[in-house]
């Protein structure tokens, strides 16, 4: 037989494009149109419906970028259409994909939301267009409104990474970017629609089969016969005959050994990204309305809906949609998943913040729906911390899902279903959908890839496929569900069943848990490494907010327990925590959103910071009382200057005075030499009699790189950035002085269009050099780092992560090692050799690179570089332009314990309050390796004291925790403060913690 495959495929594509798809709608009558252009930000439906509308017609330009127009549509259903399936067809001028273009929400004449509109959902069925959303019939009048959002396509050109100012919050008076294209009542030809889905399902399947496979040829022949049976002059009339030619190939069942796909309806809705938070609120309402309406027609639909924040937005802003959502959850159609407040980044949030993601997320689902979610749902975050498995278990969940690791550039991850082992040894059953997307269309192409790609083939048989339009929302369509029906049991395809994530995980775990492989440690994503640095002020706002929240809870609890404060600020702290958690979403905190999002985040952090400072100040003043003494409050978990950790008192001096002479700063503990360029040429550890700076090298060297990643500007830094580097050694001035007994060097530099002022400080008794860096940054596509080359032979570096630290190689033995050329750390990084180590601590940065080189003298130089700032052009061309101040410190002779304590200290500076009394810590622990991460009053407002602590060094630690307040009982609780076990209480509580174990204790007050 001759090979006519290409001929048939091309014939099919043209027939679909020019003949069949246009025939889905038959007879049509235009709707009457009126419009009201909303000024400024979106308004409530009641205000919009009360506005004055003007007559409009097809072709009307509408919607400046980010603007809103309200359309009023009305008409009469022709009586002669009785018995036909009828829909309103609205095209707002859709140009891009769902979620990235104009969007609409259909409302009743009373302003009740009914159904979303987007480029793949342009219809509203007659069943919802009657009075108040009821069904209409032939001969009836209909009337409805559409709130149309003019969301611009920030994705840009074909490459998608061109700089654009469209992501800024708009000024009034912009030009319309959309044009109303269609507004009709039309007869829906269901048989034509079904024919399209038959043809597409079979064509997509056959294209994935080998050319030698008989099944492919059989499908091709059937497709050809179907087109032969079709009369292009009357597609609607002959669609049934055309479908009949496909019955045989569509009815053959799947092979007995076919892979099993659990299809889950989904709409990945980024809480902000190429749109602001306020638009996401509307996206959620549109998507939920779509799902609720779709489920009425397709009862088998199950929709996984993550992010408690998005559920809360529906409750707060759309009461009618909220009622539909609650009903769908109760019926099992919409399934809350994830158990987190948002789908957060997991590399950058602090330990307590990541715990609170689970606390607030799971508690919302419990309080509102009575559902204790079991799966953690993070399909699109940019790598996954090794702390997660323990937090998942402590939240009361047991499964984890992501898809993002399929994006790895250098190494294919070896598993799709496995046990993921975290820092402390906790394991969570984990799945990566081999379909390699969280926005599947269930096409033959994607299903075949899932079956072929599944790493566990031969040992396990099932995988999960989230289907529906996502990123910008939208969710499943009727086409997707109809496709799922066609491929449910189809020869040469996996079997497909629409079911919940719980059903999938339960079956997968039962089948494979005993034999599943184990992956230990972080799930490092080999792409998007620049998200550790982009949008510095967003990251700084997050870090500072986390530590302010720690202090607000700590000192408020202490003041209430001491009887010096009447009430604990439960409501204020709950609201502030949720605002901070929202901004940890995986396109906000990583710095990968439009300008509008980040400017709004900065304003939010400033407002929250002021509120938290007021809460802290009120509690500390209450504790200190009235007097003239300088009371120093130490919110860090370790003591300093004679002040106990978590306590307050009068400070005592640390060590001898500091001298400054001939460029040498000396406090008797370390001696620092600064040259005429303002660089550290020597850092001598007096006690160890050891030079720290590597021979021939200089410390605190600023290095400027050209930074032009191949794609994903704000997200990516590609390894070739290291090929183009400039050492910034030019200096405007170097000034030495002593300020309040602290040796100080101020170094000013200018380069390109930017200036950097660094203030180096050496304090009495300190084994660290503090470096404050103020950058007035005006570069484009540049990457600035600070280099610290130390004379230490380190095979690996340690980086703080949530509730512990992880080790990464400093060499590149394997492709897995080489891929980690940029790494994330929280408050500190550490390198060491037996007997000696060095740490770099920081107050607001995350990105680092650490590597080593061999010297001619036979020694090894290990270089720590901190990533200070970038200047990507997309999606925010003004990223990080302006003034930034960050703090680092180089700590010498440091082991891991010193790195930990210094990391807390730089992030929790001492606070001085004029008063009379010191403050004893609410609890004391007789082993510094066990660290208190949070101390607060219980969320249930019982007045119980909650202490969350962890083993910080990676070893087994024993201790006694002793409360300094009257208590009658202590229990071990989970993250949601639910009872796990009773604990013995004598004078204190005995602790025996495994490496990196997190423990939360609840003390009942007398």
Q: Give me the long-range contacts of 681-689 (CB less than 8 A, separation at least 24).
A: 683/769, 683/890, 683/892, 685/767, 685/892, 685/893, 687/893, 688/836, 688/892, 688/893
- Using CB atoms within 10 Å of the CB of residue 511, give its burial: 0 to 12 exposed, 13 to 18 middle, 19+ buried: middle
Give first-to-last CA distance, the chain, whole Å.
Answer: 90
Judge whether residue 655 has pLDDT over 70: no
CA distance 191 to 208: 26
Q: What is the pLDDT of residues 37-62, one digit of tens each?
A: 999 999 999 999 999 999 999 999 99
SS3 label, residue 447: helix
pLDDT of residue 987: 87
The residue among 782, 325, 190, 274 whose CA lies nearest residue 534 is 782
Torsion over CA: 437, 440, 443, 444 (sign): positive
CA distance 796 to 809: 4
Beta bridge partners of 914: 630
Q: Are 734 and 678 in contact (CB under 8 A)?
A: yes
Q: Are 246 and 198 in contact (CB under 8 A)?
A: yes
Token reading at 968? 């009658």
Average pLDDT, the chain: 96
Judge whether residue 158 has pLDDT over 60: no
Judge whether residue 159 has pLDDT over 70: no
Contacts of 476 (CB under 8 A, 6+ apart): 265, 266, 267, 290, 291, 294, 301, 303, 467, 468, 469
Judge whether residue 1 has pLDDT over 80: no
Q: Which residue has the higher pLDDT, 740 or 28?
A: 28
Catalytic residue among 184, 198, 270, 380: 380
- Using CB atoms within 10 Å of the CB of residue 857, give its burial: 0 to 12 exposed, 13 to 18 middle, 19+ buried: exposed
Q: What is the pLDDT of residues 75-129, one digit of tens each?
A: 999 999 999 999 999 999 998 899 999 999 999 999 999 999 999 999 999 999 9
Q: CA of 406: how far to CAs of 411, 413, 453, 709, in Å?
A: 9, 7, 11, 20
> How many other C-beta atoms lie within 10 A of the C-beta of residue 835?
9
Instruction: Kindly state the helix (H) or strand (E) to which residue 363 belongs, with its residue range.
Output: helix 351-369
Bridge pairing between strands 260-266 and 495-498:
parallel
What are residue 967's phi and psi, to 5 degrees?
-140, 150
SS3 of 378-418: the string is CCCCCCECCCHHHHHHHCCCCEEECCHHHHCCCCCCCCCEE
Query: What does DSSP assign to residue 469?
Result: B
The residue among 671, 675, 721 whose CA lies nearest residue 701 is 675
Judge whether residue 4 has pLDDT over 80: yes
Judge whether residue 193 has pLDDT over 90: yes
Contacts of 286 (CB under 8 A, 6+ apart): 103, 104, 105, 113, 116, 117, 118, 473, 474
pTM of this structure: 0.97
Q: What is the pLDDT of residues 344-377, one digit of tens each?
A: 999 999 999 999 999 999 999 999 999 999 999 9
Token reading at 314? 């529906």
Judge whether residue 157 has pLDDT over 60: no
Q: What is the pLDDT of residues 306-348, one digit of tens each?
A: 999 999 999 999 999 999 999 999 999 999 999 999 999 999 9
Task: Examine the residue annotation and report whether 140 is marked as an active-site residue of this protein.
Answer: no
Interhelix angle 308-317/319-331, nearest 10 degrees: 130
Q: What is the pLDDT of residues 972-986, one digit of tens each?
A: 999 999 999 999 998
CA distance 872 to 530: 10
């Amino acid at each position: 037989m001759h090979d006519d495959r290409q001929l048939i495929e091309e014939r099919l594509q043209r027939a679909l494009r020019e003949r069949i798809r246009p025939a889905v709608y038959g007879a049509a009558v235009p709707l009457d149109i009126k419009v009201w252009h909303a000024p400024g930000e979106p308004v409530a439906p009641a205000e919009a419906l009360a506005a004055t509308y003007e007559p409009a017609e097809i072709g009307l330009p509408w919607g400046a970028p980010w603007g809103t127009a309200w359309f009023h549509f009305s008409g009469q259903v022709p009586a002669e259409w009785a018995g036909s399936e009828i829909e309103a067809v609205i095209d707002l001028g859709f140009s891009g994909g769902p979620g990235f273009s104009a969007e609409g929400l259909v409302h009743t004449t009373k302003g009740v939301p009914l159904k979303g509109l987007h480029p793949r959902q342009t219809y509203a069925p007659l069943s919802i267009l009657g009075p108040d959303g009821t069904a209409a019939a032939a001969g009836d009048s209909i009337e409805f409104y559409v709130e149309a959002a003019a969301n611009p396509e920030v994705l840009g050109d074909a490459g998608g990474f061109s700089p654009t100012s469209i992501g800024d919050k708009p000024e009034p008076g912009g030009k319309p970017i959309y044009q109303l294209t269609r507004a009709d009542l039309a007869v829906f030809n269901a048989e034509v629609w079904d024919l399209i889905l038959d043809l597409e399902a079979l064509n997509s399947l056959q294209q994935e089969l080998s050319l030698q496979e008989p099944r492919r040829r059989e499908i091709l022949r059937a497709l050809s016969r179907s087109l032969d049976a079709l009369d292009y002059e009357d597609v609607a009339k002959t669609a049934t005959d055309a479908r009949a030619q496909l019955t045989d190939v569509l009815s053959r069942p799947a092979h007995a050994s076919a892979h099993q796909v659990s299809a889950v309806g989904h709409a990945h809705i980024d809480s902000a990204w190429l749109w602001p938070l306020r638009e996401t609120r509307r996206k959620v309402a549109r998507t939920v309305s779509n799902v609720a309406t779709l489920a009425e027609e397709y009862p088998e639909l199950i929709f996984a809906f993550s992010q408690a924040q998005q559920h809360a937005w529906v409750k707060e802003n759309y009461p009618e949609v909220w009622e539909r959502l609650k009903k769908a959850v109760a019926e099992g159609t919409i399934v809350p998943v994830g158990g987190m407040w948002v789908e957060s980044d997991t590399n950058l949030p602090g330990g307590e913040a990541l715990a609170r993601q689970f606390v607030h997320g799971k508690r919302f689902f419990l309080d509102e729906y009575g559902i204790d979610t079991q799966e953690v749902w993070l399909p699109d975050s940019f790598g996954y911390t090794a702390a997660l498995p323990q937090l998942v278990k402590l939240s009361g969940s047991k499964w984890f899902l992501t898809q993002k690791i399929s994006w790895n550039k250098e190494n294919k991850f070896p598993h799709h279903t496995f046990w993921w082992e975290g820092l402390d040894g906790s394991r969570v059953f984990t799945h990566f959908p081999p379909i390699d997307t969280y926005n599947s269309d269930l096409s033959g192409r994607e299903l075949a890839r899932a079956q072929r790609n599944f790493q566990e083939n031969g040992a396990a048989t099932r995988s999960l496929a989230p289907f529906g339009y996502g990123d910008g929302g939208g969710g499943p369509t009727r086409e997707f569900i109809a496709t799922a029906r066609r491929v449910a049991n189809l020869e040469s395809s996996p079997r497909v069943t629409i079911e919940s994530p719980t059903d999938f995980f339960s079956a997968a775990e039962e089948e494979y848990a005993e034999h599943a492989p184990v992956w230990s440690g972080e799930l490092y994503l080999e792409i998007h490494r620049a998200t550790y640095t982009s949008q510095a002020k967003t990251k700084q706002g997050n870090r500072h907010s986390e530590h302010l929240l720690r202090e607000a809870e700590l000192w408020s609890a202490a003041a209430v327990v001491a009887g010096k404060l009447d009430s604990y600020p439960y409501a204020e702290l709950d609201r502030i925590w949720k605002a901070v958690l929202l901004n940890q979403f995986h396109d906000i905190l990583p710095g990968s959103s439009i300008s509008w999002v980040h400017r709004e985040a900065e304003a939010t952090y400033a407002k929250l910071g002021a509120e938290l400072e007021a809460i802290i100040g009120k509690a500390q003043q209450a504790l200190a009382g009235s007097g003239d003494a300088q009371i120093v409050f130490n919110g860090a978990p370790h003591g300093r200057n004679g002040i106990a950790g978590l306590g307050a008192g009068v400070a005592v001096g640390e060590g001898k005075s500091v001298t400054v002479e001939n460029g040498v700063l000396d406090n008797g503990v370390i001696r620092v030499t600064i040259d005429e360029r303002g660089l550290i040429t020597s850092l001598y550890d007096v006690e160890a009699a050891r030079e720290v700076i590597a021979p021939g090298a200089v410390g605190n060297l600023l290095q400027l790189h050209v930074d032009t990643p191949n794609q994903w500007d704000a997200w990516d830094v590609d390894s070739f950035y290291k090929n183009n580097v400039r050492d910034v050694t030019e200096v405007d001035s170097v000034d030495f002085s002593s300020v309040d007994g602290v040796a100080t060097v101020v170094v000013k530099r200018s380069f390109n269009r930017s200036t950097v002022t660094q203030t180096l400080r050496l304090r009495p008794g300190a084994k660290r050099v503090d470096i404050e860096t103020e950058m007035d940054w005006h570069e484009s596509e540049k990457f600035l780092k600070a280099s610290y080359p130390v004379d230490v032979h380190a095979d690996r570096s340690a980086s703080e992560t949530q509730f512990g630290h992880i080790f990464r190689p400093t060499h590149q033995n394997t492709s897995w090692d080489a891929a980690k050329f940029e790494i994330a750390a929280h408050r500190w990084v550490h390198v060491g050799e037996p007997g000696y180590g060095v740490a770099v601590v920081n107050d607001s940065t995350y990105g680092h690179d650490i590597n080593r080189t061999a010297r001619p003298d036979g020694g090894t130089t290990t270089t720590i570089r901190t990533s200070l700032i970038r200047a990507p052009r997309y999606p925010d061309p003004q990223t990080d332009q302006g003034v930034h101040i960050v703090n680092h410190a180089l700590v010498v002779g440091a082991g891991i314990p010193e790195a930990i304590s210094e990391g807390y200290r730089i992030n929790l500076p001492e606070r001085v309050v004029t008063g009379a009394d010191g403050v004893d810590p609410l609890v004391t622990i007789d082993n510094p390796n066990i660290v208190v991460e949070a101390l607060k009053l219980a969320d249930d407002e019982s007045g119980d004291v909650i202490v969350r602590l962890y083993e910080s060094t990676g070893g087994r630690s024993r201790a006694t925790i002793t409360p300094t307040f009257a208590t009658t009982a202590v229990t071990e609780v989970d993250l949601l403060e639910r009872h796990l076990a009773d604990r013995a209480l004598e004078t204190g509580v005995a602790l025996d913690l495994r490496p990196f174990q997190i423990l939360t204790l609840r003390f009942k007050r007398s």
